[in-house]
Amino acid sequence: MAIRRGRGVAAINYPTGMNLGGDPTQALVHSTPTGNFMVTLSSVDLGQGMKQIMAQICAETIGVPTDRVVIDTADTDTGPHCMGTFASRGTHRAGNAVIQAAKEARQVMLEVAAEELEVNASDLETDGQGNIQVKGAPQKSISIFDVALSAHFKRGRSISGRGMFLIPRSYPEKETGAMKPSTCYAHACTVAEVEVDDETGEVTVLAVKNVFEIGRALNPKMVEQQLVGGSWMGISHALYETTEPYYPNRDHGGTDFNQYLMPGPGDLAKTEIIVLERPSADGPFGAKGPGEMCANPQIPAVANAVFDAVGVRVDTLPITPERILRALKAQAAG
Partner 1 sequence: MAKVPVQFMLNGSEKAEFVESGTTLLNALRDKIGDTSPKGGCHQGTCGACSVIIDGELRLSCLTLAETCIGADIKTTAGLAEGGVLHPLQRAFLDAFATQCGFCTPGMIMAAKVLLDRTPNPSREDVVEALSGNICRCTGYEPIIQAVLLAARANSQNAA
User: Minimum Å distance from CB 227 to partner 1?
Assistant: 9
Under rule CB under 8 A, residue 230 binds partner 1: yes
- Whole-angstrom Cα distance, residue 274 to residue 75? 37
Name, in order, each residue with C-beta under 8 angstroms of 172's C-beta and a sequence gap of 6 or more.
178, 179
Which listed residue (75, 258, 281, 334) binds partner 1 by CB under 8 A? 258
**Interface with partner 1, residue 233, by CB under 8 A:** yes
Taking residues 8 to 27 in sequence order and writing x for each that binds partner 1 by CB under 8 A, - otherwise, the string is: --------------------
Nearest CA to 48 out of 16, 19, 89 is that of 89
Q: For residues 37 and 232, which CB has a smaller minimum distance to partner 1 in the complex?
A: 232
Stretch that binds partner 1, among 165-173, 194-202, 229-237, 285-293 (CB under 8 A): 229-237
**Does residue number 228 form part of the binding site for partner 1 (CB under 8 A)?**
yes
| Nearest C-alpha neighbor of 201 from the set 299, 326, 315 | 326
**How many angstroms separate the CA atoms of 8 and 250, rounded?**
31
Shortest approach of partner 1 to residue 49 CB, angstroms? Answer: 8
**Residue 222 interacts with partner 1 (CB under 8 A): yes or no:** yes
Which of residues 37, 165, 232, 285 is near partner 1 by CB under 8 A?
A: 232
Scored b (16 or more CB within 10 A) or e, 2-17 reads eeeebebebebebbbb
Report H helices in 5-94: 50-62
Segment interacting with partner 1 (CB under 8 A) among 35-43, 89-97, 255-263, 323-331: 255-263
**Strand ranges, E, within the chain:** 3-16, 23-31, 37-40, 69-72, 124-126, 131-134, 137-143, 160-167, 183-197, 203-213, 270-276
Q: Provide, rounded to whole angstroms, the least separation between the CB of residue 140 and partner 1.
A: 40
User: Is residue 211 close enough to count as binding partner 1 by CB under 8 A?
Assistant: no
The secondary structure of residue 90, as a DSSP letter, is: I
CA distance 273 to 140: 47
Q: Does 48 bind partner 1 (CB under 8 A)?
A: yes
231: contact with partner 1 by CB under 8 A? yes
Q: Closer to partner 1 at the Cβ: 46 or 332?
A: 46
User: Any alpha helices (H) in the chain, and if so which ranges?
Assistant: 50-62, 95-117, 144-150, 220-239, 298-310, 321-332
Number of residues that bind partner 1 (CB under 8 A): 24
177 lies in the binding site for partner 1 (CB under 8 A): no
Give me the residues that bind partner 1 (CB under 8 A), please. Answer: 46-49, 221-222, 224-226, 228-233, 256-258, 262, 264-266, 268, 271
